[in-house]
A and B are shown apart, each in its own frame.
Chain A
């Protein structure tokens, strides 16, 4: 089971926090902060899990997710989505688009870590 995570997020302090947490938990963390070429980045990097921010410069997280799910071998890729716009509608849309887990900022660190572990474990089982 792989342990690589791609973090797509544009807020530097949040990137630093998540990278710190996951690195200490033994994950290999790659980051990307632009929406426009995020899909390419995923295809190229083949991470075991993607953490995707909803509001990104260039392209919204929702669109990126839809694109990912449209690619054959990325249909089951675990995607953990983060948003700061506390709107219930966003969660529905994300779930429809095939998100694996949806979390609202601010999150607790433990929550993120558990989610990452669980999602990767599930994906490797199936």
Chain B
């Protein structure tokens, strides 16, 4: 017989092995060589924490008591997994895109980041899971006691061993679950260790099963015969329980915090679900395959007083198979430890994110970014929470006396956690589900479960036998096992029926009657339509100065290295000048999700809101995360911020509209100008061509004269069109410059001869030939066009008796200045600002131009990098053309 010491040695060795595996996996993940750590196989195996010690020991006991009914615990999850496409896919997608950290976080996030709801779910989960944890402790202790009974060398105390077991598990969970604070809450090390434990417990159970079937019963046929001959040899199942427990198991499979942790939070790739959809049910099938044979053989072989929950251990022991018994013990140990570790991790995350952090934050006077190291607080909170949860498990174990059958405790736990289901499913598929509805449903379901299942299950004292028999306050319809007077139901069926029915009803009715907050509606739409937009719009706006504050705060939460990496990545994404990204709404939202991974959605929202301001919470409103009335305040301030945002947007729109109107007015004015300029020559052309056509007896002289008018007006029309086209090309910037070199004098010569064809008014031009002796590098044709225009204008508008034009050139500050000064009266002061506008014509004279010349000249000079302007105070009309230094070469 193995001594207790050997057993302890094996336990420690096994735990050391797990540590090694977890440590190695964490190292590999940190180095990025973790591809196979993220395989669908590991994902499937990690789901096996569903199979706890309750499965390993309890299933056989369950089968020995109730026949095939135990299988419902596994059929429920099988249906959920096979139907992954309907539910789990959406759950995982939402979990990943919203960086959900726990089931409480999911509900809180869905119902408008409500922390009240998160706290509610956390409390429910802690209370619901505590019996389950205590069940694991109990099973490990029981298995120890089996070996202890046979070992006379050492005294064995059940109570003290429970405490030791709990302490050991807490240490393991703390070491691996809270070593790092990952934004994604992924724990590769723990998941790897769990996967290993999954293999160990499966192998152990299969080994016992194979021994029983082929070693003790002579093969399959012999086993089947033996089963039929046993006390459970006939199909005997309560239909209500069969259905209710299948449903309950399916619900718990989704709602259990630890299942949510491995299924959603630790999920690396949505596609793993596709493999797990058949592989995990297969695992469950293998785990259940030998349960009935072991139970039947155990009932046959073992004395009647032997606890059937421990047949997996006692049957090999009774046959002298100590090695097999040891393997079986390790299997059970694996089942218990993996469940406790993950459950403690999941619950501690919930507790720290939704209970401890909000309280801690609100207790600090300063804001999140000035306060101490948040990271340390979060980790400490989680460690303490794990310890606390284990202590609760021990407490429950001692309260319940450790006597109840394993299966009964497990089902109580399932029924409690299943209360989350209506709010969860409603939140995922129904946009109308509200926070108030979820809270109400959850509350009523929780109360009924507490009253009709958990408290009576705790046995002596907590609910007096008077209450049990006569109902609460003596009201007959408030009997815990016969609510509303319906008697004769199995307690589990009774509780599931009432709690979930009323939970769902209240949830729906209150949801319909209440009105969701804006944030809730936004989140609701995002969750329900997750496939349409996996990236969500929730407006943060910030200014550049806030990036630094955000960085400081993020460092405190994620650690300096990760924070810097995150911010650098974001800066690079934004096209990166500097190492700090602009606080764009998209960046803030991603940051919020990252932080939510560490401190929960509501807290992250509040922290960012505090720094970025504008969009939500004020300093005092950090209290909001913890308490309902402040929550209302947060929403109203959010509304205010939204309406401020709205009016800002409206202001911008109005501005844009005014600008557009202005542009369109300018455009209208321009168009009606163009219309006028086009129609005027057309009028003459039409009138005279009709005269030529319709009038008889026109003299030859008249005919010639009218034809000449038509011709001149047609030329004017053509010129106008050319000017318009020229201007539009110049204005649109599509003009290509034809840069060449040449002497300024040549350009001026060309301009003068083009502008003054022989027949115009005489205009004397004075030039300074010496000053013009320099070489230009520019678009000389365009430049000549400007000069031609200026000379022609002087000819047209100079009102002196003997019009003269001086063209002066000089170099000033590396720029070439060409002045055109005539001896007329010049441009009136009030028109000087207008001469370069389109269609601006000064004075009454009709000079045949459309008033586009100077506008075109100005455009050209802009393109050439120079300028043209009116020079006042020169005693006549004076224009200065400025060419940039680059435009000219050194004088010869």
Touch between chains A and B, by CB atoms below 8 Å: yes
Q: Which residues of A contact B (CB under 8 A)?
A: 10-14, 16-18, 20-21, 24, 34, 55, 57-58, 84-87, 104-110
- CB-CB under 8 A from B304, the residues of chain A are none
Compute how far the CA of A54 lies from the CA of B672 in the bound complex, rounded to whole angstroms.
12
A86-B672, A109-B694 known; A10+B679 contact, CB < 8 A: no
Q: Which residue in chain B gives the minimum CB-CB distance to A57? A: B844
| Cβ-neighbour of B680 out of A11, A18, A58 (below 8 A) | A11
- Asked if residues B683 and A105 are in contact (CB atoms below 8 Å), the reply is yes
Q: Counting CB contacts under 8 A, is B31 at the interface?
A: no
Closest to A55 in B: B676
Cβ-defined contact, B675 with A20, below 8 A: no
15 extra interface residue pairs, beta carbon distance < 8 Å, beyond A21-B691, A85-B675: A10-B844, A11-B846, A13-B687, A13-B709, A14-B684, A17-B683, A21-B687, A84-B675, A84-B676, A84-B678, A86-B672, A106-B682, A106-B683, A106-B686, A108-B690
How far does the Cβ of B538 sit from chain A's closest Cβ, in whole Å? 48
Contacts of B681 in A (CB 8 A): 13
20 contacts between A and B (CB under 8 A): A11-B683, A11-B846, A13-B684, A13-B712, A16-B709, A17-B691, A18-B687, A20-B691, A21-B687, A84-B678, A84-B679, A85-B679, A87-B668, A104-B679, A105-B683, A106-B682, A106-B685, A106-B687, A107-B686, A109-B690
Question: Once the chains bind, are A58 and B844 in contact (CB under 8 Å)?
Answer: yes
Tell me whether A14 and B687 are in contact (CB under 8 A): yes
Q: How far is the CA of A14 from the CA of B706 in the complex (A)?
A: 11
Given contacts A16-B709, A17-B687, contact A105 B682 (CB under 8 A): yes
| B contact residues vs A (CB 8 Å cutoff) | 668, 672-673, 675-688, 690-691, 694-695, 709, 712-713, 843-844, 846
Please tell me if the beta carbons of B679 and A106 are within 8 angstroms of each other in the complex: yes
Q: How far is the CA of A17 from the CA of B846 in the complex (A)?
A: 17
Are A85 and B676 within 8 A (Cβ)?
Answer: yes
In whole angstroms, how far apart are the Cα atoms of A118 and B687 in the complex? Answer: 20
Question: Contact between A13 and B713 (Cβ–Cβ < 8 Å)?
Answer: yes
Residues of chain B contacted by A10 (CB below 8 angstroms): 844, 846
Do residues A13 and B688 form an inter-chain contact, with CB atoms below 8 A? yes
Cβ-defined contact, B684 with A11, below 8 A:
yes
- Give the residue among A55, A87, A105 with the most B Cβ atoms within 10 A: A105
CB distance from B626 to the nearest CB of A (A): 65
> Shortest distance in angstroms between A22's beta carbon and chain B's nearest beta carbon?
12
A18 — nearest CB in chain B belongs to which residue?
B687
Contacts of B844 in A (CB 8 A): 10, 34, 57-58
What separation, in Å, do the CA atoms of A17 and B689 have in the docked complex? 10
- B724 vs chain A, min Cβ distance (A): 16
Q: In the complex, A16→B686 CA distance in Å?
A: 13
**What is the CA–CA distance of A84 and B676 in the complex, to the nearest angstrom?**
5
Given contacts A11-B846, A105-B680, A105-B682, contact A85 B687 (CB under 8 A): no
Residues in A whose Cβ lies below 8 Å from that of B680: 11, 14, 84, 105
State in angstroms the CA–CA spacing of A57 and B686 once bound together.
23
**Shortest Cβ distance from residue A79 to the other chain B in the assembled complex, whole angstroms:** 18
In the complex, what distance in Å separates the CA atom of A91 from the CA atom of B685? 24
User: Assuming A17-B691, A87-B672, is B846 touching A107 (CB within 8 A)?
Assistant: no
- Complex CA distance for A16 and B684, rounded to whole angstroms: 9
- Could you say which residues of chain B place their CB within 8 Å of the CB of A108? 686, 690
Q: Is the CB of B688 within 8 A of A17?
A: yes
C-alpha spacing A106/B422, complex, angstroms? 79
Choose one: B668, B673, B683, B709; the contact of A107 (CB below 8 Å): B683
> How far apart sit A10 and B709, CA to CA, in the bound complex (Å)?
16
On chain B, the residues within 8 Å of A58 by CB distance are: 844
Q: Are B684 and A17 in contact (CB under 8 A)?
A: yes
Tell me how far the C-beta of A83 lies from the nearest C-beta in chain B, rounded to whole angstroms.
8
Contacts of B677 in A (CB 8 A): 84
CB-CB < 8 A to B687: which residues of A?
A: 13-14, 17-18, 21, 106-107, 109
* Inter-subunit contact B709/A86 (CB<8 Å): no
The 8 nearest A-B residue pairs measured at CB: A17-B687, A84-B679, A13-B684, A57-B844, A106-B683, A105-B683, A106-B686, A85-B672
CB of B692 to closest CB in A, whole Å = 11
Contacts of B675 in A (CB 8 A): 84-87
> Are A12 and B846 within 8 A (Cβ)?
yes
Interface centre among B673, B675, B694 (most CB of A within 10 A): B675
B679, B687, B694 pick with most chain A CB within 10 angstroms: B687
Q: How far is the CA of A20 from the CA of B683 in the complex (A)?
A: 14
Residue of B nearest to A33 (CB): B844
CA of A11 to CA of B845, assembled, Å: 10
B691-A109 in contact (CB<8A): yes
A104 surroundings in chain B (CB, below 8 A): 679
Kindly list chain A residues whose C-beta atoms are within 8 Å of the C-beta of B694: 109-110
A91 shortest CB reach to chain B, Å: 13
Residue of A nearest to B684 (CB): A13
> With the chains together, A10 CA to B676 CA distance in Å?
13
- CA distance in complex: A11, B684 (Å): 9
Q: In the complex, what residue of chain B is closest to A86 when comparing beta carbons?
A: B675
How far is A70 from B13 in the complex, measured between Cα atoms in Å? 115
Q: Which residue of chain A lies nearest to B841 when distances are taken between CB atoms in the complex?
A: A57
Which residue of chain A has its CB nearest to the CB of B668?
A87
B623 to chain A, nearest CB (A): 62
State A14–B712 Cα separation when bound (angstroms). 13
Bound Cα distance from A84 to B688, whole angstroms: 17
Query: In the complex, A2→B672 CA distance in Å?
Result: 36
In Å, the complex CA distance between A97 and B679 comes to 24
State A34–B672 Cα separation when bound (angstroms).
21
What's the nearest-Cβ distance from chain B to residue A102, in Å? Answer: 14
Instruction: Write the chain B residue with the least CB distance to A53.
Output: B680
